[in-house]
Structure 1
Amino acid sequence: MTKNDIEALFDEWNGALQSGDPAHVTALYERDAILLPTISNQVRHNHAEISDYFSDFLALGPWGRIDEANIRRFDGLAINSGIYTFQFNDGSSVQARFSFVYRWNGSRWMIIEHHSSRLPECGQPG
C-alpha cells in the first residue's frame, strides 16, 4: 500500500460523509473500533455508538479536507494523522487534529481507531 492509497482511505471516508447515511460511514469502521469524535464528549466503542454519533454529525452537512497529513505504515497497520477542516451547511467550520488507524482485515483496510479533537483556541497554553 502506497501513501496515495492511504490518502485515498480518507477520500473514501469523506465521500461516505457526503452520502448522508450513517450506516455508510459506520461500515468503514471495524465492529469494535474506537471513535473519539470532534463534536461529542462521548467515546464510541462499537458500530451502534459510532452510527449514533454520525447520525447527528451528518445532519450538519460536513465536508472535510486534510490540511496536513502524516502517513506511516507498519505491516498490517496504517496511520494517517494531522490536521483537517470541516465545512458545514450553515457556513461554519471547525479545524481539528485527527488520527486514523487502519488495519488490513484480509480483504480491505478498516478503521480501528479514529481520534478527532478540535484545535485549541490560538494563544491558549497547551
Structure 2
Amino acid sequence: MRRTYSAGVLVAAAAVLFTGTGATYAAGTPAQLSAQRSAVTSTAQLPTEGQIKALFDRWNAALATGDANRVADLYAPGAVLLPTVSAEVRTTRAGIVDYFKHFLESKPVGHIQEQFINILDRTSAIDTGLYQFTLTNKDGSKTKVDARFTFVYELRGSQWLIVNHHSSELPTG
C-alpha cells in the first residue's frame, strides 16, 4: 500500500529521526528532507535483517532466565509495552518488570511463525509478525498462545533496545 504524507508530517518525522545526530537540518520540501536523510544514512551502515531478527532471540533467551529485571534491561527508558496477557499499558521500568514477573511464572517460550523486518535507518528498525508462546501451567500441562507482535528497536549507544513492544492474542476465526 502506498501512503502519502503532508509536508508537515514529514517535517515532524524528520525532526524525530535527526534528533541527537549532531547535525542541523532546516525545514524544507519532502524531497529536500529525503535528501538530507539520505546524506546521513548513506554514510552509516544499516543493520542487517539478520541482526534485527537476532534481537528476538536475545529477548526470548532473557525470558528463559526467569529474571524479570533481565528482560526489562532490553527495554529503553520510556519504552511502551502493550503486553499479551495484561490490559495495563506499561510505560515505566517498574511496570515492565511487574508484568514480566507475572508472565515469567508460566515459563514462556516464544517461537516466531511469521516475521517481517523493516529497517528504517541505521538506528531504528521494526520487527513485526506472528509468534506462538508455549506456557507451562501450574499443574505442569502446556498451553499454546498465538499472538501478533511488533517490536520497535532503536540503537542507543552501542545497544539495540526495545522502545515499543505490542503483543496481542491472535483473534480466532
TM-score by structure 1 length? Answer: 0.95
Aligned length: 122
1:52 is the counterpart of 2:98: yes
Alignment-derived partner of residue 134 in structure 2: 87
Alignment-derived partner of residue 119 in structure 2: 73
Question: How far did residue 52 of structure 1 move?
Answer: 0.2
Deviations 1:84-116 (A, max 9, x none): 000012310100000000001121110000000
Task: Specify which structure has the higher proportion of strand.
Answer: 1
Task: Specify which structure has the higher proportion of helix.
Answer: 2
Q: Percent identity?
A: 48
Deviations 1:47-75 (A, max 9, x none): 00000000000000100010000001111
CA RMSD of aligned residues (A): 0.6
Q: How does 1:27-42 map to 2 (within 5 A)?
A: 27-42=73-88
Larger radius of gyration: 2
Question: How far did residue 31 of structure 1 move?
Answer: 1.3
The runs of at least 4 aligned residues of structure 1 exceeding 4 Å deviation read none
Structure 2 gaps of 5+ residues are: 1-46
Alignment-derived partner of residue 157 in structure 2: 106
Bigger relative CO (Cα 8 Å, ≥ 6 apart): 1
TM-score by structure 2 length? Answer: 0.69
